[in-house]
Amino acid sequence: MWEDWEEVKSGQRELAHPDAPFDYLAPEDVGALAGARVVAAPPSGELIISQCGPELLSQRAAWKVISEGLGMDISIKEINSDEHREKLRSRGFPEPMIKSAVERLSDLARDPASFYEPEAYKEASMNFRKYTGRQPTTFKAWVDKHREELLAN
């Protein structure tokens, strides 16, 4: 997301499938859950604990949160999958990664449940609270918390 900071500063983000949703998991929440897991093994004996952010937001909605949180006017220009592929290629991404990223985003836009199966997502999004006793960080709260460092870019 942040690799296009020059686009952000220009006020226009080029996005393929801007209505595709993501869970925007806060890095701090990943660390907190991992730390809780190290301190005390889950009583259920789970070896793998899935984790997702507390809400699914489209890329468009996420950039609106960023725009408002940073006090910037950032518009979205929708690009197609071929343009997305070329954008990744111009940054030096290897072809297998480009293929995977473009296909995944296209699939996610077409059918969010293909990646975020509703029951699995619900469980994964509740695991942070289950194992840490705290509420997970919303994307808006994360942007607000990191506002100054984001603006310093």
pTM: 0.87
CATH number at residue 91: 3.40.50.720
**% pLDDT > 90, the chain:** 80
- Give the CA angle between residues 72, 10, 109 to the nearest 5°: 80
Provide the 3-class DSSP secondary structure of residue 100: helix
- Give the CA angle between residues 23, 141, 84 to the nearest 5°: 40
**Rounded Cα gap, residues 140 and 76, in angstroms:** 18
At 48 the pLDDT is 82
At 153 the pLDDT is 78
Which token pair is 88? Answer: 């990744």
At 3 the pLDDT is 67
At 42 the pLDDT is 67
Q: Are 101 and 93 contacting, i.e. CB atoms less than 8 angstroms apart?
A: yes
Domain that holds residue 140: 2-151
Residues near 151 by Cβ (< 8 Å), separated by ≥ 6? 70
At 1 the pLDDT is 52
Please name which of 133, 139, 136, 112 lies closest in space to residue 125, comparing C-alpha atoms: 136
Name the DSSP letter for residue 134.
S
- Give the CA angle between residues 83, 88, 94 to the nearest 5°: 130
| Residue 141, pLDDT above cutoff 60 | yes
Provide the pLDDT confidence category of residue 33 given band limits of 50, 70 and 90.
very high
| Residue 45, pLDDT above cutoff 80 | no
Name the DSSP letter for residue 43.
T
At 2 the pLDDT is 59
Work out how many domains the chain is built from and give that number: 1
**Stretch 69-91: mean pLDDT, rounded?**
95
Q: Are 32 and 128 contacting, i.e. CB atoms less than 8 angstroms apart?
A: yes
**Stretch 88-110: mean pLDDT, rounded?**
95
**Stretch 59-63: mean pLDDT, rounded?**
96
